[in-house]
Structure 1
Amino acid sequence: MNTSNVLDFADFQRRCGQLSVRQACLPAGIDPIDQAELDRLVRRRRRLDAGQALYRAGDAMSAVHVARCGTFKAVVPSAQGEATVVAFHLPGELIGLDGLGAGRHRCDAIALEPADVCELPYEALAEAAARLPKLRAQLHRVVGLGIARDMDHAALLMRRLAHERVAGFLDDLSRRYCALGAPPGGFRLPMARDEIAAYLGLTLESVSRSLTRLQEDGMLYVRGRRIEILDPPRLAAVAGSAA
């Protein structure tokens, strides 16, 4: 296997950690003066250990967050003690928009690995967006992308075959990493297979069998958490995405 085009996630984290918040996905396209003002909105930067909560379901929403490095899972707890994984947030993506409607978070945001997070007070961000048209447009775009991703996830769960769900998950992750500037072709999964299973509504065994099937069909190379996508068009076709 050629590993030259497989994303070393640890290296990606180090590079991501060197970015200022103005280089994250939120402020793309705004001018330097507006970027500097956005940087001043950062109230604090937080370091979290793997397994630590950024916020919990029921907490008041006072800020949105951008992970400069580190990946998060969004988990909805249940009264029975079980938890459903409803989203994964990559470095550079906004975290915390689930609280926009009611003013309180509807899920727990849990770090999957050591993370460095920028916190932006929501009221200050909204006020800045009211004054800065390009920032306002970018905020709307980010919210829209989040809604579209939720719809895509719901559609994915309607797929009957487990390997189609897994293909869709990997295809989406690959596209998101590319959007963040990572080289195409491969990446290291920051989440465990049981967390993927919880996100896709599958068993752990079904996820493992699906990865094996996709590899045997020549679409992937899988080694532990390392994934290399060998045939992106075929993977996208199985996932039901546009190639």
Structure 2
Amino acid sequence: MNPLTIKVACSNCNLRELCMPVGLNEQQLQRIDDIVAIRRKVKRGGTLFRNGEAFTSLYAIRTGFFKTCVATEDGRDQVTGFQMAGEIIGLDGIVNDHHTCDAVALEDAEVCVMPFDRIEDLSREVTALQHHVHKIMSREIVREHGVMLLLGSMRAEERLAAFLLNLVQRLHARGFSQSELVLRMTREEIGSYLGLKLETVSRTFSKFVEEGIVEVKQRHVRILDTDALKRIVNSQQTCH
């Protein structure tokens, strides 16, 4: 066995509520435990899967933070998303049986490997699991749609405000603070994701600091005025 893999049990995992369906009985949980048998560690900067690689599994992030990215025609990396503990990564591979992006760890991470063919088999019997997988896919579609709206019509302040609100809301669902976060990604990666130049991201952060909306110390961000961020995002909807 690969030294980076460890036996795992969903039944006693503290993130179970986030990535597994609620309300399964002992026997159903045991069957899922049998499927999700392996954990994999990925070092910071390491790749969980690459664009073009055969799709075999979904991955539940247990600890750490990832970015997904694709290489553009001119060779740059375009960040397509950020994923954190309790979220499922790898859904991009379902359509054509191969991955369409790279998944890179932004810090040391650990994932649970969920072989997709076995999940499909079991979800035919356990409808709660099938429903859950559909829910995860749907959430991903909604998220991507949100990003497209963000990139399509928003000014820099609106994009960054929406990004910070989304991040803190996802972290809060995992029991973290509603107002403080550590950015695992660089300003450059944020810019790539939001379709903004690095200088624009830095300038917008500075503007938020000057206006007393956030406090920034390197990668530590403290949101001082959540309502102000919401107003920035919503101002765009009232203008159209």
Q: Does 1:114 align with 2:116?
A: no
In structure 2, the residue matched to 1:49 is 43
3-state secondary structure, aligned to 1:88: strand
- Alpha-carbon spacing, 1:28–1:218, altered in 2? closer, same or farther (3 Å): farther
- Alpha-carbon spacing, 1:28–1:230, altered in 2? closer, same or farther (3 Å): farther
TM-score, normalising length: structure 1: 0.87
Distance 1:90 1:226 in 2: 17
Runs of 4+ in 1 over 6 A off after TM superposition: none
Distance apart, 1:132 and its partner CA: 1.1
Q: Which runs of 5+ in 1 are unaligned?
A: 1-18
Distance 1:24 1:200 in 2: 30
Q: Does 1:70 align with 2:96?
A: no
- Alpha-carbon spacing, 1:42–1:22, altered in 2? closer, same or farther (3 Å): farther
Distance 1:159 1:216 in 2: 25
In structure 2, the residue matched to 1:150 is 144
User: Does the CA-based 8 Å contact 1:165-1:200 persist in structure 2?
Assistant: yes
- Alpha-carbon spacing, 1:187–1:49, altered in 2? closer, same or farther (3 Å): same
Distance apart, 1:32 and its partner CA: 3.9
Q: Which runs of 5+ in 2 are unaligned?
A: 1-11
Distance apart, 1:102 and its partner CA: 0.8
Give the structure with higher Rg (CA). Answer: 2
Deviations 1:185-235 (A, max 9, x none): 111011111110110111111001111111222221111111111121221
Deviates more, 1:95-104 or 1:34-43: 34-43
In structure 1, the residue matched to 2:128 is 134
Which structure carries more relative contact order (alpha carbon 8 Å, separation 6+)?
Answer: 1
The partner residue of 1:30 within 14, 19, 23 is: 23
* Superposition RMSD in Å: 1.8
Matched letter for residue 75 of structure 2: G
In structure 2, the residue matched to 1:203 is 197
Distance apart, 1:183 and its partner CA: 2.7
Distance 2:190 2:25 in 1: 39
TM-score, normalising length: structure 2: 0.88
In structure 1, the residue matched to 2:77 is 83
Q: Does 1:20 align with 2:7?
A: no
In structure 2, the residue matched to 1:10 is none
Distance 2:169 2:14 in 1: 21
Matched letter for residue 240 of structure 1: N
Give the count of matched residue pairs: 224
3-state secondary structure, aligned to 2:162: helix
- Alpha-carbon spacing, 1:32–1:221, altered in 2? closer, same or farther (3 Å): farther
Deviates more, 1:209-218 or 1:163-172: 209-218
Deviations 1:122-165 (A, max 9, x none): 01111111111222221111111110100110111123421111
3-state secondary structure, aligned to 2:177: coil
Matched letter for residue 25 of structure 1: L
3-state secondary structure, aligned to 1:25: helix
